[in-house]
Amino acid sequence: MGKLEVEELFHYGKIYRDVVLHVPGRISGSFKVALMPGLSDAHAHPQVIDVGEGGRWKNSYEWIANRKLRVREEDLRGDPELSSKLTIIALTLSLLDGVTMIAITGSLQGNLLALRRLKYHPRVIMLPTILNKKGWMKLEDVYTFLPDSTRLDGGKISAGIFIHSIGLTDPKTVKEAISLGKGEKIPVAMHLNEGVGETEVLRKITGNNLSEVVAIHCIEESEECKRLGLRVVSCPLSNLYLYERTIPQLEFIDAFGSDWPLVTGTLRRALSTATSIYKRELEVLDKATRGGYEVYNINHELDISLYDDTLKRIVTGEAHPRTVIVGGQPTVIEGKLDGIDRGEAERALRETINEALSLYGVDP
């Protein structure tokens, strides 16, 4: 067994000092801080590389209808090879930033291909997106995928359903998707109240039993979301970029998401932003670590991010982990993932974005 000596262990909202952690294998060492579990990214779109102009939109529907992107998203998502490259980079950058769990939407084929190719990755919840629009999946497509996809890779990969939104998915599909999620005991997530109140519409479609639904954003009717038992994930970076506002109170939030890890950064940056907004550092960090695991009911045994830095610099997003362990398996070692450091991953991102723009770019 390996032995990890830690000056400060952050676990379930509390700090424990001078702790020894035992993990499988031969990895050993001394660290200033350990997060157990590590950071949990409860909502990420790994194929998003451009989001258009920010700071001027009232709600998500206005943004989607009027944004001017540099890339044809439908064509990009329809390219499994390119989609997989972007997912690989998103997961790599996330691990290098101490993220040990991430929920990803977007291209199912691209995400599956990426996970087959990766030697190391965080725990992943795959949430194929259902949307009534050309190029997106239908509920029946997801249903055929689910039986062979739950709890893969020894529990490090699991699956659920992502309903894009109330306004862009028909009510019958929303109701059936939530019913399917409950029947299969898998998570169902959706964008909700992203600048426009939709809680009552959802309640009328599905009834009052919403405790299993993961609601992303909820910048409107935040208190009502919590009252109805929705599991609320806040994405402060994208909210501030698009609408210049986010959920007003920390009490209404269960977990945090990066939303666009390849545009605005991984959960490390979302944590920094949340800390600056809500100030209560340890409470924010608790929601940014175990929060995502609890929202999706994911095991976090032996998921640890270890730092040679202070807890203060971790919550402000200034620190990067030296070592990251997922399910007892070392992934990041001495700041590198399978020999790749942050600079190399960021260079790969720039190259892949240029490739996407050359293939599917929109003429000015």
The first and second tokens of residue 130, run together, are 């259902």
Residue 148: its pLDDT value, please?
Answer: 56
Given a cut of 90, whether residue 173 has pLDDT beyond it is yes
Give the integer Cα–Cα distance in Å for 191 and 168.
10
User: What are the tens digits of pLDDT across the range 313-326?
Assistant: 999 999 999 999 99
Cα-based distances in Å from 158 to 8, 74, 201, 236, 328: 31, 25, 29, 25, 18
DSSP single-letter state for residue 210: -
Q: How many CA atoms lie within 13 A of 279 on its CB side?
A: 2
User: What are the tens digits of pLDDT across the range 39-69?
Assistant: 999 999 999 999 999 888 999 999 999 999 9
Strands 157-159, 161-165: pairing kind: unpaired
CB of 233 within 8 A of CB of 295?
A: yes
Write out the DSSP string of 34-80: EESS-EEEEEE-TT-------S--SSHHHHHHH---SB-HHHHHT-H
Domains of the chain: 39-298 (3.20.20.140)
User: What are the tens digits of pLDDT across the range 239-286?
Assistant: 999 999 999 999 999 999 999 999 999 999 999 999 999 999 999 999
Give the integer Cα–Cα distance in Å for 87 and 109.
11
The first and second tokens of residue 263, run together, are 């545009």
Residue type, 339: G
Taken as a whole, the chain contains a residue count of: 364
pLDDT category, 291, cuts 50, 70, 90?
Answer: very high
